[in-house]
Structure 1
Amino acid sequence: MDWIKDIFGTHKPVIAMCHLEALPGDPTYDPTKGMEWVVEQARRDMLALQSGGVDAIMFSNERSLPYLTKVEPITSISMARVVAEIAGELTIPYGVNVLWDATASIDLAVATGASFVREIFTGVYASDFGLWNTNCGEVIRHQHAIHGEHVK
């Protein structure tokens, strides 16, 4: 697994999570605070994690409850805005995770320059939102079609 050392500079990286606040389209999104507040919360968390010495940061829509297996476009677009606005302050690798949408995660990584994603690509699962059947072949073909082979 040389790609792990290539990306993170170590064979056992510490990857910290930057959980984004609720986004537009999420039931708990607060439009009175707006996206500027979401960006600033993510920036604050990212800078704290980075200064703490982690090897990488993963941005995730953890507060997009209840989760969808295929997110609405506004979720990925909002996440892209957050990452784009703070990526210039990152000095370490970063990844993205659009819960629970592997295709959206790959799209977001390609669009924002993220090095890696976290998502479930294989298997059938019984979860809090019902049965969930992944489609690895479809996702990998999509990743290839959008020239995202560099995303791990």
Structure 2
Amino acid sequence: MSSFSTLFKKPKPVIGCIHLKALPGAPLYEGKMGSIIEQALSECELLQAQGMEGLIIENFGDKPFYPGRLGAETIAAFTAVGKEIMRQAKIPVGINALRNDAVGALSIATAIEANFIRVNVHMHAVVCDQGIITGQAYETLRFKNKLNSSVQIWADVNVKHAVPLANIDLVQETEDMCQRGLVDAVIVSGNATGKATSLDDLKTVKKASSVPVVIGSGMSLDNIEMLMPYTDGFIVGSYFKKDAIATNELDSQRIKDFMAAVRQHR
């Protein structure tokens, strides 16, 4: 099983998001799987051409999101798209099955031989727009063992678009995630998609974590230099889009400028 440090060729890797259009079963699905695959492959090609060091695929268009298990139709479509991306990708690939289907994400990632998954609520419980979501670490880790899977589990602390159901401090949450949740990396982000990660939160998590810490939202040219010393990697989605709006198309110049800044500061 590879570790975070051996998975990526360079330190502090930049992981670009591939935001899928709505998949079958979702309210906004347009009835054309071919166009979903075409867009995903186009984004994969562009991100790799600009020097991306990892990719993460999300069913971003499937709003409103299921709080837990995805439907069979979604898992099947996600797997089909993911397999096509894996054929084209020359860098590590992750899966995020929104809002919080860790078992589904593990199933997809293991089937297509992806490298890691992102779990938004791995432990504890949060209140969000899907209601109350409870972490299923006990199930996720046992399911991974059942599959004999080498897929890494990256999990959020103080996850975006949510608030903790109970009052737990960030240090305790991070320590629990590492020691009891057995994660391979911890993700810290701002309070919403595209919102900057707090420097204080990042420092706190980095100090408390025994595994690599990845920034999960809000990276920009304005904060790379400030945040770089306290992170082991970046997941970037919104900033790579035109006008930094998550639903817009990728902007190659924004990606190019960001990657140049990363190379300058790391």
The runs of at least 4 consecutive aligned structure 1 residues that moved more than 4 Å come to none
- Please give the alpha-carbon distance, in whole angstroms, between the structure 1 residues aligned to 2:132 and 2:54: 32
Q: Which residue of 2 aligns with 1:23?
A: 23
Does structure 1 residue 124 correspond to structure 2 residue 125?
yes
Q: Which residue of 2 aligns with 1:13?
A: 13
Q: Deviations over 1:120-149 (max 9, x none)?
A: 31110000111111110111001100111x
TM-score under structure 1 length normalisation: 0.93
Supply the AA of the counterpart residue of 2:130.
Answer: F
Supply the AA of the counterpart residue of 2:95.
Answer: V
Find the residue that maps to 2:126 and give its secondary structure. Answer: strand
Q: Which residue of 2 aligns with 1:37?
A: 35
Supply the AA of the counterpart residue of 1:130.
Answer: G
Query: What is the 5 A alignment of 1:1-152?
Result: 3-31=3-31, 34-68=32-66, 69-99=68-98, 100-120=100-120, 121-148=122-149, 150-152=150-152
Q: Deviations over 1:60-96 (max 9, x none)?
A: 1011101112110111110110111232211111111
- Please give the alpha-carbon distance, in whole angstroms, between the structure 1 residues aligned to 2:130 and 2:90: 37
Q: CA RMSD in A?
A: 1.1
- Please give the alpha-carbon distance, in whole angstroms, between the structure 1 residues aligned to 2:131 and 2:87: 39
- Please give the alpha-carbon distance, in whole angstroms, between the structure 1 residues aligned to 2:62 and 2:143: 24
- Please give the alpha-carbon distance, in whole angstroms, between the structure 1 residues aligned to 2:82 and 2:89: 10
Percent of aligned pairs sharing the same letter = 29
Query: Structure 2: 5+ residue runs without aligned partners?
Result: 153-266
- Please give the alpha-carbon distance, in whole angstroms, between the structure 1 residues aligned to 2:124 and 2:105: 17
Q: Confirm or deny: 8 A CA contact 1:4 1:11 kept in the other structure.
A: no
Supply the AA of the counterpart residue of 1:94.
Answer: V
The more displaced of 120-129 and 81-90 is 81-90
Supply the AA of the counterpart residue of 2:94.
Answer: G
- Please give the alpha-carbon distance, in whole angstroms, between the structure 2 residues aligned to 1:128 and 1:86: 30
Find the residue that maps to 1:118 and give its secondary structure. Answer: strand
- Please give the alpha-carbon distance, in whole angstroms, between the structure 2 residues aligned to 1:101 and 1:82: 17
- Please give the alpha-carbon distance, in whole angstroms, between the structure 1 residues aligned to 2:88 and 2:16: 16
TM-aligned CA deviation for residue 113 of structure 1: 0.4
- Of structures 1 and 2, the one with the larger relative CO (CA 8 A, separation 6+) is 1
- Please give the alpha-carbon distance, in whole angstroms, between the structure 1 residues aligned to 2:34 and 2:95: 19
TM-aligned CA deviation for residue 48 of structure 1: 0.5
Q: Confirm or deny: 8 A CA contact 1:4 1:10 kept in the other structure.
A: no
TM-score under structure 2 length normalisation: 0.54
Q: Confirm or deny: 8 A CA contact 1:106 1:151 kept in the other structure.
A: yes
Q: Confirm or deny: 8 A CA contact 1:109 1:115 kept in the other structure.
A: yes
Q: Deviations over 1:7-49 (max 9, x none)?
A: 1123311010000000000000001xx1011000100111111
Find the residue that maps to 1:10 and give its secondary structure. Answer: coil
- Please give the alpha-carbon distance, in whole angstroms, between the structure 2 residues aligned to 1:61 and 1:86: 14
Supply the AA of the counterpart residue of 1:104.
Answer: G
